[in-house]
Copies of this chain bind each other. A is one copy, B any other.
């Protein structure tokens, strides 16, 4: 069992009517705010107006950067970092989902250096030693960016989509109001939940001796997603469902569940290549990849983890051959993603063929360190998994 450092000092204001604390929280860091958001859906929902009212009532000076893309791009990061410098910003307020928050993190870091923020992500891997303080208001339960110090940025010029974690980019305060996710469409809700499940599975599927208490926690998180995602899709304003998904999304990836596990992730690096080349929704790509990856990695040595997953998460009867239970577990998981949530179940239906598989496989192995994953994967393994996703 490995040692670890647990250090997640994010303050979370969870629930309805917490926005009344927004001004006070921002004022701890300064008066000049860079408000960042995406395509403007927060204007339609009324959240934008509420935020602006709070900021004005608290005597804060607001600068705005909108239009942050899904799969956020380095150009938005560059623009935000420059705005921070130009306007002597004290604190960044990201209102949105993971894309907006991820981009805002790199703006906050970019504001503190003289070089191009892409250098944080390309071969230079420039150190991220500080960042302006970040506060978030979450509108989509998925990436967990509201409670971790990581982010993923795309560079369309180079077909790169690269993630990085750095403690200075950890949000200081995050506002999690489940009602802010009531307007998330059933499809985006499904994709978000697929992302949450993948975050847990990337850690849970691990053969080393670890903390049983965390395995129980992960199983509880997965059961929560499985229980509440269909409810949230049918009843978008079901508070209980949205609240459970929201708090689960944060805990799936804030680092607590790792508990000393150090393996590289598997499906995320592969999916990043899919979104980098085809700009598809991250959670959809993960849904297509994960069951195939599970199938590919199942063998006599790994079967016990699949049994635990099947029995404890899907309630499959333990009184069967381990390999039988494992296959039932993969089927139950696939059925959840493709039947219950109704996600598309192959790449062909997204008009993706094998044209770039070799390059994508090469990059994911290199960028994702896949040889240190649950089952070490090389380029050929990844190509085979991509091919399995065509059907």
- Contact (A14, B247) CB under 8 Å given A9-B9, A220-B217: no
* A6 near B12: Cβ-Cβ < 8 Å: yes
Which 3 pairs show the lowest CB-CB distances between chains A and B? A3-B15, A216-B220, A9-B9
Name the distance in Å between A123's Cβ and chain B's nearest Cβ: 31
- Do B4 and A14 have beta carbons less than 8 Å apart? yes
- How near does chain B come to A317, taking the closest CB pair, in angstroms? 14
The residues of A with any CB-CB pair to B shorter than 8 Å are 1-9, 11-18, 209, 211-217, 219-221, 223-224, 227-228, 239-240, 243-244, 247-248, 251, 259-260
14 CB-based A-B contacts, threshold 8 Å: A3-B16, A5-B11, A5-B18, A209-B240, A211-B243, A211-B247, A212-B224, A212-B227, A214-B247, A215-B220, A216-B217, A216-B223, A217-B217, A220-B220
- Give min CB distance, A260 to chain B, whole Å: 7
CB pair A14–B7 under 8 Å, yes or no, is no
Residues from chain B with a CB closer than 8 A to the CB of A244 are 211-213
Q: List the number of copies, as a whole number.
A: 2
A17 touches B3 (CB 8 A): yes
Contacts A1-B243, A9-B9, A239-B1; A213 near B248 (Cβ below 8 A): yes
CB distance from A217 to the nearest CB of B (A): 5
- The answer to whether B17 and A12 have CB atoms under 8 Å apart is no
Q: Shortest beta-carbon distance, A135 to chain B, in Å?
A: 14
CA distance A239 to B16 in the complex (A): 43
CB nearest neighbor in B for A147: B6
Q: In whole angstroms, how far apart are the Cα atoms of A251 and B228 in the complex?
A: 24
